């Protein structure tokens, strides 16, 4: 598993007469942890959705791993996205929530039905492969003992870990996270922040992480792209943003203004 670099050039997004992204240029290096930081409404989620392919830009281009993906659908991009709310299937176990993307990918509808595994050795083998992938991800995220539980029987942090597992199981080369910690209390947020940092170190996947929380951005990121009003106003290491803010508004935002 390894990451891929992302090249974003001249990316604009209008909704009707409103210009939400006003020309974004950004390179994310392979294996880097890059954070989009900025106040609510500045366009972070819109940019992430364009990278994921849930929407297409008004103009500009987007490359992942040297391939122009500007107009490709999400599943052609080898990316995975984790949202603020976990969006787990409430009637399915944690394990099934993690395995469902692989089942959709590798099995037909009738092959996914309970009992189908007993009918054909081919289906059985695919199911065994899927189970092995789920076990690997559960091990990475410390979810081994929780796989049989339903989402309602899990804590907020455990649910978000399952949501991360469901994204991770597809072996993405780019991981997109839109404020994944903002629904959690402070203690869980710190704990899960550590786990995300650890996941990044162990997998080498390219991360694009969105937050409006400066401390979170400072703690996690190789580089931070600070956004304001649909533009990137400064991009650099946490030290650069804090030590040499390009604008007074940046200094105020990162708390280094005199
Ligand atoms: P952030 O994630 O930084 O809070 P968003 O990317 O969600 O910001 O939104 C940026 C701006 O674009 C907001 O003013 C929002 O109202 C607007 N916006 C986002 N999506 C749409 C849409 N589908 N239609 C119209 N306006 C939108
Ligand atoms: Mg947002």
Convert the pLDDT of each residue in 153-199 to its tens digit: 998 889 989 999 999 998 888 999 999 888 788 888 888 899 899 99
Residue nearest to atom 15 of ligand 1 (CA): 41
Structure token pair of residue 81: 């996205």
- Give the integer Cα–Cα distance in Å for 3 and 205: 4
Give the number of whichever ligand sits closest to the CA of residue 42.
1
- 20 pocket-lining for ligand 1 (C-beta < 6 Å): yes
> In this structure, are residues 37 and 232 in contact, taking their beta carbons and an 8 Å threshold?
no
Judge if the beta carbon of residue 46 lies within 6 A of ligand 1: yes
Residues of the chain with pLDDT > 70: what percent? 96
The DSSP H or E segment spanning 96 is helix 94-106
147 lines ligand 1 (CB under 6 A): no
Helix (H) or strand (E) holding 63: strand 59-64
Q: What is the pLDDT of residues 79-135, one digit of tens each?
A: 988 887 768 999 999 999 999 989 988 888 888 877 665 668 888 889 899 999 999
CA of 57 to the centre of ligand 1 (A): 13
User: Residue 212: CB within 6 Å of ligand 1?
Assistant: no
d(CA 161, CA 166): 9
**pTM, rounded to two decimals:** 0.89
Distance 208 CA to ligand 2 centre (A): 13
Residue located via tokens 């539980």:
149
* Residue whose token pair is 């949501």: 163
- Tally of CB atoms within 10 A around 141: 19
Element (H or E) spanning 14, and its range? strand 6-15
Q: How far apart are CA 163 and CA 160, in angstroms?
A: 5
Please compute, for residue 81, the number of CA atoms within 13 A of its CA located in the half-sphere on the CB side: 19
pLDDT at 2 over 60: no
Pocket test for ligand 1, best of 43, 81, 212 (most atoms within 8 A of CB): 43
Residue nearest to atom 24 of ligand 1 (CA): 15
pLDDT at 38 over 70: yes
What's the Cα-to-Cα distance from 230 to each of 21, 48, 209, 222, 248, rounded to whole Å? 4, 12, 17, 22, 18
Distance 40 CA to ligand 2 centre (A): 7
Ligand 1 in reach of 42 Cβ (< 6 A):
yes
Q: What's the confidence (pLDDT) of residue 1?
A: 47
Ligand 1 centroid, distance to 12 Cα (angstroms) = 13
197-241 pLDDT, tens digit each: 999 998 889 999 999 999 899 999 999 999 999 999 999 999 998
- If we measure between CA atoms, which residue out of 229, 198, 193 comes closest to residue 213? 193
| pLDDT attached to residue 26 | 98
d(CA 101, CA 137): 13
Kindly state if the Cβ of 13 falls inside 6 Å of ligand 1: no
| 58 or 255: which leads in pLDDT | 58
pLDDT-based confidence at residue 254 (cuts at 50, 70, 90): confident
Q: DSSP labels for 136-186? A: HHHHHHT-GGGTTS-GGGS-HHHHHHHHHHHHHTT--SEEEEESTTTTS-H
Phi then psi for 176, rounded to 5 degrees?
-110, 130
For the stretch 110-124, pLDDT in tens is: 888 776 656 688 888
Closest protein CA for atom 25 of ligand 1: 15
Cα(119) to ligand 2 centroid in Å equals: 46
């Amino acid at each position: 598993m390894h990451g891929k670099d992302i090249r974003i050039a001249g990316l604009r997004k209008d909704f009707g007469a409103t210009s939400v992204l006003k020309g974004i240029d950004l390179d994310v290096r392979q294996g880097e942890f890059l954070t989009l930081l900025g106040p609510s409404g500045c366009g972070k989620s819109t940019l992430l959705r364009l990278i994921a392919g849930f929407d297409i830009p008004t103009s500009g281009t987007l490359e992942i791993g040297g391939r122009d993906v500007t107009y490709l659908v999400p599943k052609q991009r080898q990316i995975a996205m984790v949202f603020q709310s976990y969006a787990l299937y409430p009637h399915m176990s944690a394990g099934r929530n993690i395995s469902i993307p692989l089942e959709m990918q590798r099995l037909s509808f009738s092959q996914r039905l309970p009992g189908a595994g007993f009918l054909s050795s081919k289906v059985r083998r695919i199911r065994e492969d899927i189970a092995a992938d789920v076990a690997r991800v559960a091990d990475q995220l410390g979810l081994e003992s929780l796989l049989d539980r339903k989402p309602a029987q899990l804590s907020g942090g455990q649910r978000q870990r399952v949501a991360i597992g469901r994204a991770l199981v597809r072996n993405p080369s780019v991981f997109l996270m839109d404020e994944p910690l903002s629904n959690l209390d402070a203690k869980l947020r710190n704990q899960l922040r550590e786990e995300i940092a650890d996941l990044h170190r162990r997998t080498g996947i390219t991360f694009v992480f969105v937050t409006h929380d400066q401390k979170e951005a400072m703690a996690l990121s190789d580089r931070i792209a600070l956004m304001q009003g649909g533009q990137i106003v400064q991009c650099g290491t946490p030290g650069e943003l804090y030590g040499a803010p390009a604008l007074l508004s940046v200094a105020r935002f990162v708390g280094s203004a005199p």
